[in-house]
Chain A
């Protein structure tokens, strides 16, 4: 079992012919993900690596019975690509693109809230159910199938955490990168709820960042609802105030969104906190053994 995606997920790639889109399509195919269609209005009726390309998401979905879409479209056009996927009633939409203006995401957010689609990202590494389906840009080989769910706002730091788990022999059910932007489609609570209901997930690793109050909200939700242990880490404990630390969402403004406040909220909710990222694997191991 897993959440969001599995070996039956049929994926469309929006922006399949761009440099990022084509590179990662190959990588996903190598992982045996079912990439069934690509979208590029100017290159319909052609193929990429044997994958047929269509002029629109709706056409690709109808022709190939697709239920998921991953977006590599450049930032100025990415919000429209998400809107198109929502309009075509795609179940799971993953947007990898970094740098989408906040105003565009406000529009997307309003539209998706009225639909049954789920959006992961933007500005995220995507998600992976090890051994079944990789829908993203993460290195597949560091993952191992198992029972620990991973949810994170970060990209490479998630790889770091997964690598530690795999090195200790701990496999993952699904790893979800929800993205580093201030406005994202799926938040910690949405993913935690899924993991809580997934019978093959026994524990969850949650990696948060400075900025916003998503971690505090998640802590509150976990305290009330979560039946499985959660191991958390917050990155940016030493980040200066007022500086955007790479991710648009990772900024401490007016003393709000600090790592200290987040760790305090997590601990108060009974969540196991790994103080430094290199302790994430160890902490999970000790929680699973206890």
Chain B
């Protein structure tokens, strides 16, 4: 039993316009960080391509068609002011879906304890029929549905600690009583959703908005006070993590003040909860994080905890 890192170099072929924060260098920095000697024992897999049948677990066919039709053969096209596609974007996005599918299967089959998908574009803003916020397909919602429909999970909990609210995951799982979606995020901030009053069709959504400048004490109160107890009560068979690292104090797109140590604490506590309720089964997926050094350091710290706990 161990930890797997699933990625694919096709995710480097999703290019965005010059100056765009969701850039190729993000994943390059993550991959370089995980090439360090302390990760020598890390199990690595290339992400397979996700299929339409996987995406259809969470999106209607019209969404797949829209994204496929929008894909350019050269240059970039803009789907909205934030969200762009290049010639390599569709394949990159399908690798992102495939990474999540493979990770869920490996963890649910007991091949590994936990997994991290180092992919881009991210996914948690993509709604049913709307790519947005750098995202094309709802990777984590698809992973949740795959675990529930095809891998024997009775319930799945999601922890979304990206600094932006995971509106897409929330909307894709709004009426899925077997999924508990928990999100901490700065508010007000993009995308404008994520109020504590948004609770899902089955009380299966838990939003915890955080004020600008939020540091360790508030973070720990949010998770230990509300989010982790809710997950323990839900008693899932798998925990999925939307791992955005843009709540880091160095991030240019938000105003929270987390440090690498906070991501270590958070990852350890997620592992504690997973050990308690689901034999340590965790699948984590890269979402945001736009300061390249902070991103690389935070992902490395996240992975070291996974390896320590999954080994």
Decide whether A and B assemble into one complex.
no
